[in-house]
Copies of this chain bind each other. A is one copy, B any other.
Amino acid sequence: MENVLTVPAERLHRQLTTVFTTWGMDPGHADTAATIMVDTDLSGVDSHGVGMLPFYQIAVREGRLDPRASPTIGNDRGPAALIDAHHCIGHVAAHLANTTAIAKAKEHGIGVTAVTNSTHYGAAGWYARQAAEHGLIGISLTNSPPLLVPVRGKDPALGTNPIAFSAPTRDKARPVLLDMATTAVAYGKVSIARRAGKPIPEGWALTPEGTPETDSAAAAIARRLSPLGGTRKLGGHKGYGLALMVEILCATLTGARMAENETGHFFLAIDPAAFRTAEAFEEDLEELTARMRGIAPIDPAQPVLIPGDPEHDETVRRREGGIPMVPTLVEEVRGVCLESGAEFILDLKRDMR
Contact = CB atoms under 8 A, between A and B. Distances in A.
Interface of A: 75, 77-80, 82, 108-110, 112, 114, 137, 149-155, 157, 163, 165, 167, 176, 178, 180, 184-185, 201, 203-204, 209-210, 228-230, 233-235, 237-242, 244-245, 247-249, 251-255, 257, 268, 270-272, 274-276, 280-281, 284-285, 288, 291-292, 295-299, 302-307
Contact of A109 (B80, B252, B288, B306): B80
A137 B180 CA distance: 22
Contact of A298 (B210, B241, B252): B210
Contacts of A291: 157
Contacts of A167: 248, 252
14 contacts: A80-B108, A82-B276, A109-B112, A137-B253, A149-B295, A152-B297, A152-B303, A157-B292, A178-B242, A228-B235, A228-B238, A251-B284, A252-B288, A255-B280
A295 B109 contact: no
Contacts of A238: 178, 180, 228
A262 to B, nearest CB: 12
Given A79-B109, A245-B178, A292-B244, A281 B307 contact: no
A186 B307 CA distance: 23
Given A110-B80, A112-B110, A154-B297, A176 B276 contact: no
B180 A275 contact: no
A96 B167 CA distance: 26
A298 B303 CA distance: 41
Contact of A281 (B112, B252, B295): B252
A131 to B, nearest CB: 13
A252 B305 CA distance: 18
Contacts of A251: 284, 288
Contacts of A204: 234
A153 B109 contact: no
A27 B319 CA distance: 63
Q: Which 9 residue pairs spanning A and B have beta carbons closest together?
A: A80-B109, A210-B298, A153-B295, A178-B241, A80-B274, A241-B307, A180-B238, A153-B304, A82-B275
A295 B157 contact: yes
Given A110-B112, A152-B302, A210-B298, A75 B275 contact: yes
